[in-house]
């Protein structure tokens, strides 16, 4: 899957002069999948233009790193490598010290910890680099397992989309279970109708997501067995799972709506937050689409909760209405 190239004029530094050679190097770099060394990029550039010198390649790479177009990584083999950060999800690396292969992953737990530490120190972080060095399964055991092999380039984008869909599907399934049960428990006819409507939407969305997942896996026969890229513990079993447990404990109609509101708000916040963090990709699109759906469900539940409270509020009887102070005629003076 070729990565769409950006408008190079937008990536030039402010006030910087136009450079055909730099633009050519940048274009070649962004077309690469995975991690390239300066020597790799120099060889590729010279195939197109023999006049491009090594020093020009080095300066361009340094500028790309400073501009946030590229990330510099070190896999422990004595050579620095570079990977595109443009339109590529932020991630961390597992690096084998024997074969020097890298495997990429993204973890909301790691990101949350980094943010917590930075905030506690009032530190404005601009880049996070997490590398875990060790020995991969293939080098340790001599056989290829589900965790072996590098994940980068086009494969990363497919795995990223696969994991995003898995999280969305898990959330949809837990939402379907939640609203189906809530519809059975709710006594208020209007509330029951809302829960049934949401259950039907969840069922429809689930079918759409599962079809999308089948289409994605058809692009790569090995996609199902590739290592996990997104490690999101809280969302792995569905963001409505805890709400379903609370329903089973027994709640009234208002409480059921409040639990649904909490679940939808949490789901919307989760998908919007991480969707906005990802660079442009199918995974980003999946997250933002799901965030918009959860926002619509949240608004519906909030409106129904307010309407239910109004319907259940006791009428104000005349006997309890505040009396108006009687006006006594003024005494006439003699």
DSSP 14: T
264: its two tokens: 């939808």
Q: Does residue 165 have a pLDDT over 90?
A: yes
DSSP 94-163: EEETTT--EEEEEEHHHHHHHHHHHHHTT--------EEEE--HHHHHSS--TT-S-B-HHHHHHHHHHH
Q: What is the pLDDT of residue 89?
A: 61
For residue 86, what pLDDT is reported? 61
Q: Is the pLDDT of residue 8 over 70?
A: no
Q: What is the CA radius of gyration of the chain?
A: 28
Which of residues 107 and 218 earns the better pLDDT score?
Answer: 218
Say if residue 113's pLDDT is above 80: yes
Every domain range in the chain assigned CATH 1.20.1260.10 = 153-311
Mean pLDDT across the stretch 119-147?
81
The whole-chain average pLDDT of the chain stands at 82
* 327: confidence class by pLDDT, cuts 50, 70, 90: low
Cβ neighbours of residue 317 under 8 Å, at least 6 residues apart? Answer: none
pLDDT in tens, 68-88: 788 888 777 777 888 877 656
Choose the CATH number for 153-311 among 1.10.10.10, 3.30.930.10, 1.10.287.1080, 1.20.1260.10. 1.20.1260.10
pLDDT of the residue at 145: 52
Could you say which architecture CATH assigns to the domain 21-86? Orthogonal Bundle (1.10)
Say yes or no to pLDDT of 328 above 70. Answer: no
- Whether the predicted pLDDT of 237 surpasses 60: yes
- Which range, of 23-32, 72-81, 291-300, 310-319, averages the lowest pLDDT? 310-319
For the chain, give the percent of residues with pLDDT over 90: 34
Output the pLDDT for position 21: 86
Q: Comparing C-alpha atoms, which of 194, 180, 144, 188 is closest to residue 299?
A: 194
Whole-angstrom CA distances from 109 to 131, 174, 237 are 15, 21, 15
Does residue 16 surpass a pLDDT of 70? no
Of 115-124, 132-141, 268-277, 313-322, minimum mean pLDDT range: 313-322
How does residue 215 score in pLDDT terms, banded at 50, 70 and 90?
A: very high
User: How high is the pLDDT of residue 3?
Assistant: 46
Please give the pLDDT value at position 87. Answer: 58
pLDDT band for 230, please (50, 70, 90 cuts). confident
SS3 call for 229 = coil
Banded model confidence at residue 149, pLDDT cuts 50, 70, 90: very low
Nearest to 213 by CA among 285, 165, 282: 165
Residue range(s) occupied by CATH 1.10.10.10 in the chain: 21-86
């Amino acid at each position: 899957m070729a990565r769409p190239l950006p408008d190079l004029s937008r990536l030039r530094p402010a006030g910087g002069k136009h450079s055909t050679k730099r633009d050519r190097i940048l274009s070649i770099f962004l077309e690469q999948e995975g991690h390239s060394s300066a020597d790799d990029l120099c060889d590729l550039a010279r195939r197109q233009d023999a006049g491009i010198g090594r020093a020009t390649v080095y300066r361009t790479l340094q500028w790309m790193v400073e501009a946030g177009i590229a990330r510099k990584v070190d896999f422990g083999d004595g050579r620095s490598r570079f990977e595109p950060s443009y339109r590529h999800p932020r991630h961390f690396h597992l690096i084998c010290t024997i074969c020097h292969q890298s495997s990429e992953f993204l973890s909301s737990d790691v990101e949350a910890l980094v943010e917590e530490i930075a905030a506690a120190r009032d530190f404005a972080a601009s880049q996070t680099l997490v590398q875990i060095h060790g020995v991969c399964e293939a080098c340790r055991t001599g056989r290829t397992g589900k965790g072996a092999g590098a994940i980068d380039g086009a494969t990363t984008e497919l795995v990223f989309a696969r994991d995003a869909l898995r999280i969305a599907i898990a959330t949809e399934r837990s939402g379907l279970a939640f609203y189906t049960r809530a519809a059975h428990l709710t006594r208020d006819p209007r509330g029951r109708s809302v829960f049934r409507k949401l259950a039907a939407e969840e069922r429809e969305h689930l079918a759409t997501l599962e079809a999308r997942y089948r289409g994605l896996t058809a692009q790569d026969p090995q996609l199902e067995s590739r290592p996990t890229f997104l490690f999101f513990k809280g969302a792995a079993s569905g963001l409505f799972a805890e709400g379903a447990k609370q329903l089973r404990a027994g709640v009234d109609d208002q409480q059921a709506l409040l639990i649904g509101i909490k679940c939808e708000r949490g789901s919307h916040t989760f998908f919007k937050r991480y969707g906005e963090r990802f660079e442009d990709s199918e995974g980003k699109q999946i997250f933002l689409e799901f965030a918009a759906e959860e926002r619509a469900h949240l608004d519906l539940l909030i409106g129904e909760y307010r309407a239910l409270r109004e319907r259940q509020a006791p009428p104000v009887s005349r006997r309890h209405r505040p009396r108006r102070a009687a006006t006594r005629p003024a005494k006439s003076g003699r």
